[in-house]
Every structure is written in C-alpha cells, then in structure tokens.
Amino acid sequence: MPWPWRWLARVVSVLLALALVLAGVLVYTVRRSFPQVDGSLRLPGLSGSVEIYRDKSGIPHIYADTAADLFMAQGFVHAQDRFYEMDFRRHTTAGRLSELFGPSTLENDKALRTMGWRRVAAQELPGLAQETQDLLNAYTKGVNAWLAANPKASDRSLEYSVLKLQNGSYQPEKWTPVDSLAWLKAMAWDLRSNLEDEIDRALALTKLPRERVDQLYPGYPYDRHSPIVTQGAIQRGRFDQLAVPRQRAATALNQAAKTLDAVPDMLGTGDGDGIGSNSWVISGEHTASGKPLLANDPHLAPQMPSVWYQVGLHCRKVTAECPYDVTGFSFSGVPGVIIGHTGKVAWGFTNLAPDVADLFLEQVDGETYLYKGQQLKLETRQEQIKVAGRAPVTINVRSTRHGPLINDVIGDARPSGEANAVALQWTALTPGRTADAIFALNKAGDWDEFKAAAALFDVPAQNLVYADTSGRIGYQAPGRIPVRENGDGTWPVPGWTGEYDWKTAPIPYDELPSVEDPADGFIVTANNAVIDPARYRPLLTKDWSYGYRSQRIRDRVEKAIGDGKVDARTMSEIQQDTYNGFAETLVPALMRVDLAGPSVQARQLLDKWDGMQGLDSAAAAYFNAVWRQVLVLTFDDDLPPAAQPSGGDRWYEVIRGLLDRPDDPFWDDVTTKNREETRDDILRQAMASAYQELSERLGDDIAAWRWGDLHQLELVNGSLGASGIAPVEALFNRGPLAVPGSKDAVNATGWNVQRDYTVNALPSMRMIVDLSDLDKSQWINLMGASGHAFHTNYWDQAQTWARGDLLPMRSSPESVKKAAAHTLKLNP
C-alpha cells in the first residue's frame, strides 16, 4: 500500500479508536447515573420497609406502612429519576440560575428576586398544618438520602457531568421543604390569568384610541358558548345551584413587560392567548358502566423532562394514621399527587383564570411614593445574586403597599406622564395553604372531604371537576380571588389614589360557584367563563378563554349521550378532536373574495373541508397558513410588538366582528401610502401569501401538502437543551414529532402566528378515570418517567402520546404487582 494510503488508514484507525473510547466513556457516564430499580437498598430514616414496583414505563407505585415512610420514599424516587430537574427548578424559583450558568440567566434571576417567590414560600411554611410540615420534612429526608448516596457528578445525572465542564466547583445543596413550596409559586405564576392582557391593553393604547383597543378584547359570547355553571346564584352568603338571581405610563409599562417576560414559565403556558386545559365528567346515567367517567388534559408548554411525574402512593393498610391510597400525576420536587384519584374519588384541574393580579401605576420620588396625598416610604431590600465566573450582582428591590416595583429590575424607566413605576399585586405573594390542600385532596373519600380540601387551595385558582365511586359528580371553583374597591382588573390603574385597592377579604369560599349532580348529567370546563355575570355579582374576571374548546366538548358529549351510553373510548376520541371552531366563520368569507392566480387552486382545498386538522390534511395546512397571514396583515401594523396577536380564540372573536365591517380601520395597512385596504384586500393578500409560503416550504403539489409537515413538536430539554451548543443539545433533545390539532381545538396544540407552526403548547398529559373500576383508567405523559437522557423511559411515552394512545393507569395492588417489571425494596 502506498505510504499516503497507509498514513490515511492509520489516522482513520486512530480516530475510530478515539471515537469508540469516547463513546464508551459517554455510555459509562450516562449509565452510571441510572437509578437502581431492583433488589434492595438501605434508606436511613425509614421506620419500616417500603416496596416500589415499576412497570415497563418506569412508573413507580410505592407501598409503605406509615405516611412518613411513604412520602420519604416518594422523595427518594423523585430524586432517583429527576433530581437535576428538581435542582434546576429550585434555582429558578429562588432566582439563582446564574450560580449554575453565569451571566446569561441574570435577567431571569433579577425578575425572580424582585417577585420574591422563595421569600413568600419561606413565610408560608410555618403557617401550614403540622401534618403537612411533617410530611414535607419526610419527603425532604428521602431526597437528601439519595443525594448523600450519590456524591459525584457522574452519579447524579449526565447534566451534572456536562455542567462540570463550565462550572466545575458546583455542588448541589441539600433539599429543603421551602424548595418544594417555592415550586407551587411557579405553578401559580404560570396560571396567573390576565396580567399580560393588562399590559397589552395599555401598550396598545399608546398607538390606538380606547375604542379601537376595546375591539381587540370582545366580551364572552354567552349566547353561543355555554359557561361552566348554567344555574344558581349567591343566596344568604352561599352559592346555591338552585337559586334564581335577582334581576398612561408607557415607559414604565414597557419595562414592566420586559420583567414579566424575564420570569420563566416553569409549567410553561406557551404564548398565553387561548391556551388552557380541558376537563369534563359524565354521570353514570349516561355511561356504559353506570358509573362516572372523568377526563383531564392540562395544556402547557412542551417540556423535557415532562412537568408531570406519574406515581402511585399507597398505604398498605389505609387507616386514620396512614390514609393515603392515591394514583396520579405529581410534580417532581413536591410530595403528593396533584391530579388523579384516591380509592374513592377522582378529580381534574383546568385553569379557572380569575383576575388575581393587578398592575398599579405609581408615582415614585426617590425612596418614597405617593398614596392618598402622602409620601410614604418605599419598602426596600437588597438581593445579592451569585454569578458563576463573575462577581456577585446586587439589586435593590423596592415595593409599595401594592407590591414590588417590577419595572425597576430591567433597564431604567424614565418618568412618563403622572406615573413612573409599576407595582405588581398578586395573591400568590401572600402566604397561603395550597400545600395543605394537596395532602387533603390525596386522602379525600367523598364530596364533603373534597370540598373541604378545595377550600384550602388558595393559588392558583382552578376549576375542579369531581367524580366518585358512589356515582356523584361535581364542580368547585376554589381560590383566593380579590375584591376590588373599583375597576375590573382589565387595565393598569393608578396606585396613588387608593380608589382601586383590593379589599381586605377575598371572595368567600362559600360564595364561589359549585355544582353537584347537575340535571343534564355532565360538567365541562375548558377555561371558558364560569358563570354568566348576569346571575353572579362578584367579579371573577373579564378575560376568559372564549369557549370554542368547551362548546366543542359539550356538543360532542351531548351527541355521544344521544347516540347511546358513553365509554372510555368515547372520552379519548373527544380528547383527540382536532376541529377548528373558527373555520365555519372564516372559510365562507374567504370563498366570497375575488381571487386570481395559483392561490385559487389552494382555496379549493377549503371548499368541502370538514374543519378537522389531522396530520395528512392539506386543507388544514392551508387554512392555518391563511389564518396566520390574516392576523399578521391586519394587526401588526397597528400594534406594538408586545401586543401583536399570537393566535387563539380571542382573535377568533375579534376577526368575527371585523368580517361584518369591511371598511374598519384595522383592515387598512397603515404602512402603505395613498391607499386604504379593505377586508377583501387583506383576505385576498392572506390567501396569496399563504400559498406562496406553503409552496416554498412544502412544494408546488397542493394535494401533497400535509399539516403534520408544518405543525411539529421539538422536544427540548429544559436547561441544557437550549444551551446553544449543538453537541450538548444533541445529547438531551429529541424529536421532531408531527402533531395534529391546533390552538383552541380540543386537541390544543398551540403555535404562534408571529413565528411559525412549531408547537409551543399542548396537552401535557391525558387522563381518563373510570369510577366503575379504577384499574380500567388510562393515562399518558408527554415524555416519560425518567429525567436521565438515554434511559429507556426518558421519552418512551412521547410517540404514544403523539398517536393519541393511552397507557393503563393501574392502582390496585394486584394489577400493579402483575404489571411490575422491576421491584425495589427500601429497608431502614
């Protein structure tokens, strides 16, 4: 062999050998952190043995004799599978990400320190029930026992090995109960309702007159979309379901908007408009089994690992001392189950989204602020933020009686008009008892115990649907919802007058809407209006989701009931429904427009389209591309970037109104000179631009266009998956997956019209509980049980989720043990 070839062969051999060595090192490093799931382990602090059964999906069911042992084992198991995720989350909620990642996350930390989530969580702990504190401590012991047994970075997870390359000195601290409580603040923040709408309204007002801004926030269509509660009123201080009712500061606001944007979505709520959740419950009178069925699928931003962790927590013998037998979805880092069922009752959540946060415009002068004619001293505190590789950064947090000044922390807000600062008042910045509510829900056995648990659920306020094995179904609206002296919470208000202050007491729990066994035999919630304000006086909010999902679910449930008895398959089919509720309004308007050129052929896709948005639908691809162009062409020239539409059913209602006004000023493109566009001009341009976009992206063969080729889900790891370092991202990210549905379909896979069709919000899990036999219940998680990249259960549920399939949701000891692929025994 000639020498150049011999030299090349040697180089190639060396490179292959190095690649094999590096691959071996990577495999060794990765597998070293995988948890032990078989055999036995010693767990100091237990009072007795604990058994953990995992099925092939890695979902653990934990069996213990005492509540303390049960939750200590849950802490250990969460840490086994998800400790890096837990550690990352607690750094986020405490405003300490820069300790891990350096100055790139400094703005996030400033925003979180200003909000003070962890400070409030620390204040909350001593006010909780002693049982709650004890179980939080037991959970903490389990986490720390795992941490002590895994002292090296490579023992804990691949993320720590990668992080060590950037931040070699980092060592995770011991877990504390406050770390768990702070995560509940993140949950409340992501489900905080209309705060961005308040800012968007005010920013839109800087470019438009008030009446045109009001056009962008139409009222809820009660005549077309039913609220959740259709009967009842407050009578003698209680909600009775049978009762009949009696007849300017733009600069500071921009800075406040930047602060709010810097607060990361920990659950992830996408881009806000129209994204929420679905839940409904059907009485046994309408089901094949004769017992209720309950469905739930919370819509959140895609996260990897999934925000949810499936688990079963079982006392071997259920007694007053050990009352837990609960299966469902937990948060890693938080003890207990958030959504699921006990041995007797099941529950689901959707976001009630009441207006629990207000922005107060303030007049600040130095270290004082104006309030009712007096200059009051600002409350101040300093927060030092440690930054990896840099000197610490100190910020000065200032607060008025309404809350922290959120415009202070990012940039300098110059005075504008009377106000020069913005304070945030939010119910979650007051200590509450949500942690008590979780443990109370986890041992509820009937409607009365469920309602008592719901009364403790301060924030975030959720729509709670209920069913039990006796056949009862119900709905309860809980939460700390403020009562305002004046105003409706839709606009930032002057703080210096005092006239818009919150009253001391929120809406009493007994006055919040509640329904038990309604006459029509089912209850549907999907972030739609709870109740018509004509029959209910306390203000919950004016910024509801507009009811397209909820009404579609109601229509399908009513049809299913009319066709015969409903079963779990019917419930699953409704969860998978991809119908676009606005197509029946927009398509006829598009078909009436004079059109020429190649987009005429594309428009024909819509002529007999059924509105369904499946993966293979060419019509869905074109309709959504047109919808995107309609919104961008109509509104982007009129609105500041922060207030431009992202999509969703509010914009359905806005466009619905504009279609009847062909010469409305919104149709005119203000960037074109000597021309005033009308409705048909914009619709014509939208169809042409959509055709141009899709032909460039998907080819000229219109019949070959597929919605699934546009609408895809990228599975991005929550921290290192967005590092900007391609080899690191490749270790942790997965996908893409083609996904059906769209924003405000029942199968609500959201996307942002300002960007592209990439999925940014989705059903983060799905659950169907069968109260006739709990072992016949079904569930699916977005990702998998494990947070360890390359583990079998890292993302094994993702493709099943994308297909719309479900896994068995086992809960009885017999079914759990029969399905067990692994058994681990923890000994004292």
259 vs 37, more confident: 37
How far is residue 447's CA from residue 472's CA, in Å, rounded to a whole number?
A: 8
626, β-bridge pairs: none
Across 259-401, where does the E strand assignment appear?
277-282, 293-300, 309-315, 325-330, 339-341, 345-351, 357-362, 364-365, 368-371, 374-377, 379-385, 393-400
DSSP 328: E
Return d(Cα 324, Cα 322) in angstroms, integer: 6
- What's the whole-number mean pLDDT along residues 704-725? 94
Q: Which two tokens stand for residue 614?
A: 């499946």
CA-wise closest residue to 493 among 355, 692, 304, 686: 355
Check the CA dihedral 508-509-513-515 and report its sign.
Answer: negative
pLDDT in tens, 239-293: 998 886 654 456 676 766 677 677 766 554 445 454 579 999 999 999 999 999 9
Q: Is 537 helix (H, G, I), strand (E, B) or coil?
A: coil
Q: Whole-angstrom Cα distance, residue 584 to residue 793?
A: 42
pLDDT computed for residue 270 by the predictor: 47
DSSP 424: E
> What region, left, alpha or beta, does residue 65 occupy, with left being phi > 0 and alpha being psi -120 to 50 degrees?
alpha
Residue 382 has pLDDT above 70, yes or no: yes
pLDDT > 60? residue 5: no
For residue 408, what pLDDT is reported? 78
Using the structure block, give the residue that is written with the tokens 């047994």: 149
Higher-confidence residue: 728 or 177? Answer: 177
DSSP 628-648: HHHHHHHHTTTS-GGGS---S
Q: At residue 5, what are phi and psi to the nearest 5 degrees?
A: -70, -35
Hunting for tokens 């359905």 — which residue is that?
652
Over residues 668-682, the pLDDT tens digits come to 999 999 899 999 999
pLDDT band at 154 (very low <50, low <70, confident <90, very high): confident
Question: Which residues are CB-neighbours of 723 under 8 A, at least 6 positions away?
Answer: 729
pLDDT band at 20 (very low <50, low <70, confident <90, very high): very low
Task: Note the pLDDT tens digit of each residue in 420-441.
Answer: 999 999 999 999 999 999 999 9
